[in-house]
Amino acid sequence: MNMNQFLRRAFLPIIIVVSLTTGFFGGFLYERSREPVPILKNLVNKDVGQPGDLDFSLFWSVWDLLHERYVDRTELDTQKLLYSAIDGLVRGVGDPFTSFLEPKESEDFAREIQGSFGGVGIEIGIRDEILTVITPIVDTPAEKAGILAGDKIIKIGDKSTEGMGLDEAVNLIRGPKGTEVVLTMFREGLKEPREFKLIRSDIRIPTVKLEIKDGVAHLRLYVFNKNTDADFEKISKEILNSGAKGIVFDLRNNPGGLLDSAVNIAGYFLEPGSVVLNERFGNGSENVFKASGSARLKNLPVVVLINRGSASASEIVAGAMRDIRGVKLIGEKSFGKGSVQQVEDLRGGSSLKVTIAKWFTPSGASIDKNGIEPDIVVERTEEDIKAQKDPQLDRAINLLITN
């Protein structure tokens, strides 16, 4: 696979259901396989007990028994049985981001990556085998309803999410604009689950926002997408012209986005040539991504804010800034989405989404499943949010002013 193909990847934020449903541009390399998939005409069953081999005759034994003994065998859908078998195989890997997509799911997924979808404005992932909100997207039905990062989704409508995969959850949450979806959530600290009735709508994600507070630039980045680089270029000039004595770089509830954008944004704060991340593959090979560009903001003191909704690309940037510049991270432990997915088209319109690599910070720390621990832990509670208080931001501004 060449570098041009890799540059097309996005950190598919876990999955943005924005339903944004796609999202967590956590790390997606989406490509269409041009080569036809060879048709297997014969399967050779190895002798029992041979090391390293698998007797696949067990599969065919079950297949034949179903067709011979099942009471309604004339109603068996062979295609459905095949897809279910493949889905079970892929689920056995135990990776929530590796999945088999049937033709309709594959078509929907391709459409979502291109951005032609609506939803409720949450990014979801699987944490400890439970469907979990990575982050609510700013100014969406989910955020306005009070959904928080870390909420556990236990039901979608009347359907339990126990054992449910990401793709199925996305399909259930997504729907026509103006229609309702009910999500039943469990939140840490509450005794009873809570229902959220959300009306689906078009989702538009802002990229960046700047406010000057007490002589400090509060720079909030919401996502790493195709508009981020141009917007950040303008904002960086505004910061320098403002005379701000420091920057609070706010990556809270940023689910990730495009890899190129993450590397480019890091280049505003780091010296050219600084390592931003290492990408390691199953065969032992590695890609090293380095900062380039103006390093326009490298001389300003910076503090970075992260929380449970910071994932993927935002974790990469936060980790690089701490490792290379010694920047302090304030807030809560990040989500821990540090892997790359590739989509391969299969015969008949189905596809396989498979994890092919993992990300490591410049110091060699693995992001995937581990997240990034802040240097200074400051929580922002639900009561703080309701009262419009932000102790994390306050602590960051105070740190810059007093140092």
Mean pLDDT of 30-55: 45
Does the structure show a pLDDT above 90 at 360? yes
**Residue 13: pLDDT over 70:** no
Site of tokens 């980790």: 319
Nearest-5° Cα angle at 66, 347 to 161: 65
Composition of the chain by helix, strand, coil, percent to 5: 30, 30, 45
Q: 101: Cβ–Cβ under 8 A, 6 or more apart, which residues? A: 109, 167, 350, 351, 352, 353
Collapsing DSSP to helix, strand or coil, 38 comes out as coil
Per-residue model confidence (pLDDT) at position 266: 97
Confidence band of 398 (pLDDT split at 50, 70, 90) = very high
Give ∠ CA 199-200-204 in degrees, rounded to 5. 125
Q: Is 312 a catalytic residue?
A: yes
* Residue of 167, 229, 260, 323 marked catalytic: 323
Say which residue the tokens 């890899």 belong to: 259
Taking the C-alpha atoms of residue 231 and residue 135, their distance in angstroms, rounded to an integer, is 22
Tell whether 221 is covered by a domain: yes
Distance between CA 334 and CA 330 in Å, rounded?
A: 11
Does the active-site annotation cover 128?
A: no
Residue 333, in any domain of the structure:
yes
pLDDT in tens, 244-271: 999 999 999 998 888 899 999 999 999 9
The answer as to whether 94 is a domain residue is no
Secondary structure of residue 260 in the 3-state scheme: helix
Would 13 be classed as within a structural domain? Answer: no
Tell me the two tokens of residue 199. Answer: 């009306």
The answer to the question of residue 271 being in a domain is yes
Please tell me which residue in 155, 328, 337, 353 is annotated as part of the active site: 337
What is residue 240's three-state secondary structure?
helix
Please report which confidence band the pLDDT of residue 126 belongs to, taking 50, 70 and 90 as the band edges.
Answer: confident
**The two structure tokens encoding residue 5:** 């193909």
Residue 175 pLDDT: 82
CA distance 80 to 350: 12
pLDDT band, very low/low/confident/very high, at 163 (cuts 50, 70, 90): confident
Q: How confident is the model at residue 53 (pLDDT cuts 50, 70, 90)?
A: low
Lowest mean pLDDT among 9-23, 279-293, 295-309: 9-23
> Which has more pLDDT, 206 or 35?
206
pLDDT band at 105 (very low <50, low <70, confident <90, very high): confident
The Cα 151–Cα 187 span in angstroms is 5
Catalytic, 323? Answer yes
Going by their DSSP bridges, the two strands 247-250 and 302-306 should be labelled as parallel
Q: Does 388 map to a domain?
A: yes
The DSSP secondary structure of 262-324, one letter per residue, reads HHHHHTTTS-TT-EEEEEEETTS-EEEEE--S--TTTTS-EEEEE-TT--THHHHHHHHHHHH
**What average pLDDT is seen over the chain?**
84
Give the CATH number of the domain where residue 388 resides.
Answer: 3.90.226.10
**Is residue 317 one of the residues assigned to a domain?**
yes
Domain that holds residue 315: 208-338+358-402
Per residue in 184-229, pLDDT tens? 999 988 889 999 999 998 877 778 999 999 999 999 999 888 889 9
For residues 7 and 12, give the distance between their C-alpha atoms in angstroms, rounded to a whole number.
14
CB 240, CB 269: distance < 8 Å: no
With 0-12 / 13-18 / 19 or more C-beta atoms within 10 angstroms meaning exposed / middle / buried, residue 268 is buried
- Number of separate domains in the chain: 1
Q: Which long-range contacts (CB under 8 A, 24 or more apart) does 324-327 make?
A: 324/270, 324/271, 324/274, 324/275, 324/362, 325/269, 325/270, 325/298, 327/269, 327/302, 327/303
Q: Is the pLDDT of residue 51 over 80?
A: no
Please identify which of the residues 236, 310, 312, 351 carries the catalytic annotation: 312
Residue 273: inside a domain, yes or no? yes
